[in-house]
């Protein structure tokens, strides 16, 4: 079982006339106006990396982050724990492998790969890792950290209906002592989905509580007693997010969220971030009336008296350089923590005059404002926890994923002066 990824299909040619009349909805006053003038956040460093993957065999990224810890999945069955040891310095402190296997994955010339990795969920003291072995064909491995070292504490065997030979873990989320696992079951005739949930008392094992229905979409988001099931293919690829609320031992669907300016093919729900009373959901294929060359939008929602309402729509600025918009899909990745929001603009970065691809927004007076930019070309994952961010990207010259940490400026502050961090890479690519 590998991470289940479902990419939103490209929008068919032609934009509905009604959508063109909704410019005022897509471009409210609080949207970015001059991203190219935003200050650049300089990258920090990661020291003492561990061999979580090998050259061309590396295919994953930092897939979970919480507080001062992050998890890098190399894609071969070895997970690297990164810990924050300074304001903008992170250090690899531990390697995790499948506890059922007698030996870890082996490097070339005879590489081996084990099923242990994404999807992953991380909290302050609990880490959930998807995987399988001959002993446990479909499992969630629970690691806890009573002190400074993560240790295997429990293996959760997922329910497996009779006659279904394949169990695919689609997503897993964790908040405090509640864990939720999205699973797809297959046989030769049909497939269906289920969402299972578990709870625990601190220091005790997780206990199975049952299923949450209906199971829709392909990704989850969880914050305390509120959960999202997100389906970018709902309503003809328009996309939707379904809100579930827990009361006691019962989860009930309470709302269906859609973007006010979305239409079939926009892929609303391709990326989602959820923190407290704020939700950010992207629609990276939504046409942009201000500039058709740069599609995409990010919708934010706020909880008001128990009901989620659309709060704002963030959209990219028009481009002036044709080289600046190749492969642009605004909102391919989003990350949210408190009053900070990171949005992957999908832009090609690499020259001082070209904007960096990730935009930092801050929330002030109930409005999102662009504050700074950061990152490098080839973004594959964006992670955020408080004032710390970690981006994973691919340098075409070096096959191993590059992990860059960032110390974000204080809320309302400005980062120190910095030039583009991608000029050298872009120069080699363009030669």
Per-residue pLDDT of the chain (431 residues; tens, 9 = 90+): 333 333 232 333 333 333 333 333 333 333 433 345 789 899 999 987 887 777 656 778 899 999 999 999 988 999 999 999 999 999 999 999 999 999 988 877 787 889 999 999 999 999 999 999 999 999 999 999 988 899 999 999 999 888 888 999 999 999 989 999 999 999 989 999 999 999 999 889 999 999 999 999 999 999 999 999 999 999 999 999 999 999 999 999 999 999 999 999 999 999 999 999 999 999 999 998 887 778 899 999 999 999 999 999 999 877 665 555 455 789 999 999 999 999 998 776 544 455 678 999 999 999 999 999 998 777 889 999 999 999 998 766 666 678 899 999 999 988 888 776 664 443 333 32
Please tell me the number of Cα atoms within 13 Å of 5 on its side-chain side.
8
Both tokens of residue 152? 């295997």
In this prediction, residue 56 carries a pLDDT of: 59
Give the separation between CA 361 and CA 334, rounded to whole angstroms.
11
Give the separation between CA 332 and CA 326, rounded to whole angstroms.
14
In this prediction, residue 365 carries a pLDDT of: 92
In this prediction, residue 106 carries a pLDDT of: 85
User: Angle CA(204)–CA(205)–CA(208) in degrees, nearest 5?
Assistant: 130
State pTM to two decimals.
0.86
In this prediction, residue 165 carries a pLDDT of: 85
Give the separation between CA 373 and CA 267, rounded to whole angstroms.
25
User: Angle CA(285)–CA(351)–CA(347) in degrees, nearest 5?
Assistant: 5
Could you give the domains of the chain?
A: 31-430 (2.130.10.10)
> What are the residues whose beta carbons fall under 8 Å from the beta carbon of 263, sequence distance 6 or more?
16, 19, 238, 286
Looking only at the bridges linking them, the beta strands covering 89-97 and 45-47 are parallel
Both tokens of residue 110? 């005879």
| Residue carrying structure tokens 């009349």 | 21
Give the separation between CA 82 and CA 120, rounded to whole angstroms.
14
Region of residue 174 (phi > 0: left; psi between -120 and 50: alpha; otherwise: beta)? beta
């Amino acid at each position: 079982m590998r991470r289940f990824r479902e990419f939103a299909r490209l929008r068919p040619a032609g934009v509905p006339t009604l959508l063109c009349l909704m410019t005022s909805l897509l471009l409210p006053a609080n949207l970015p106006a001059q991203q190219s003038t935003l200050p650049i956040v300089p990258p920090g460093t990661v020291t003492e990396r561990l061999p979580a993957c090998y050259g061309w065999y590396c295919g994953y990224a930092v897939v979970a982050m919480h507080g001062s810890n992050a998890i890098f999945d190399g894609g071969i069955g070895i997970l690297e724990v990164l810990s924050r040891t300074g304001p903008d310095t992170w250090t690899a402190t531990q390697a995790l492998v499948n506890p059922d296997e007698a030996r870890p994955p082996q490097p070339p010339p005879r590489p081996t790969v084990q099923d242990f990795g994404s999807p992953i969920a991380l909290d302050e003291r609990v880490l959930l890792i998807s995987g399988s072995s001959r002993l446990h064909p479909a499992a969630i491995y629970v690691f806890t950290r009573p002190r400074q070292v993560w240790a295997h504490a429990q293996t959760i065997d997922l329910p497996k209906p009779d006659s279904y030979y394949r169990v695919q873990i689609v997503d897993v989320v964790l908040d405090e002592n509640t864990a939720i696992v999205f699973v797809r079951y297959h046989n030769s005739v049909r497939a269906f989905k289920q969402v299972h949930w578990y709870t625990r008392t601190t220091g005790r094992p997780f206990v199975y509580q049952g299923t949450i229905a209906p199971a829709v979409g392909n990704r989850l988001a969880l914050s305390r007693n509120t959960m999202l099931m997100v389906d970018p293919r709902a309503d003809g690829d328009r996309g939707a997010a379904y809100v579930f609320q827990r009361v006691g031992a019962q989860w009930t669907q309470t709302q269906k969220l859609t973007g006010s300016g979305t239409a079939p093919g926009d892929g609303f729900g391709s990326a989602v971030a959820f923190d407290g009373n704020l939700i950010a959901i992207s629609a990276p294929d939504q046409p942009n009336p201000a500039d058709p060359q740069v599609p995409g939008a990010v919708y934010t929602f706020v909880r008001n008296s128990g009901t989620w309402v659309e709060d704002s729509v963030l959209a990219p600025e028009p481009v002036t350089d044709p080289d600046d918009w190749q492969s642009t899909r605004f909102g391919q990745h989003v990350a949210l923590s408190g009053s900070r929001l990171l949005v992957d603009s999908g832009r090609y970065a690499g020259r001082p005059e070209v904007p960096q691809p990730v935009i930092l927004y801050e929330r002030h007076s109930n409005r999102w404002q662009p504050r700074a930019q950061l990152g490098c070309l080839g973004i594959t994952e964006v992670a955020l926890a408080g004032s710390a961010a970690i981006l994973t990207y691919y340098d075409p010259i070096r096959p191993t994923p590059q992990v860059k940490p960032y110390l974000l400026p204080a809320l309302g502050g400005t980062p120190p002066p910095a030039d583009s961090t991608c000029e050298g890479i872009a120069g080699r690519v363009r030669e």
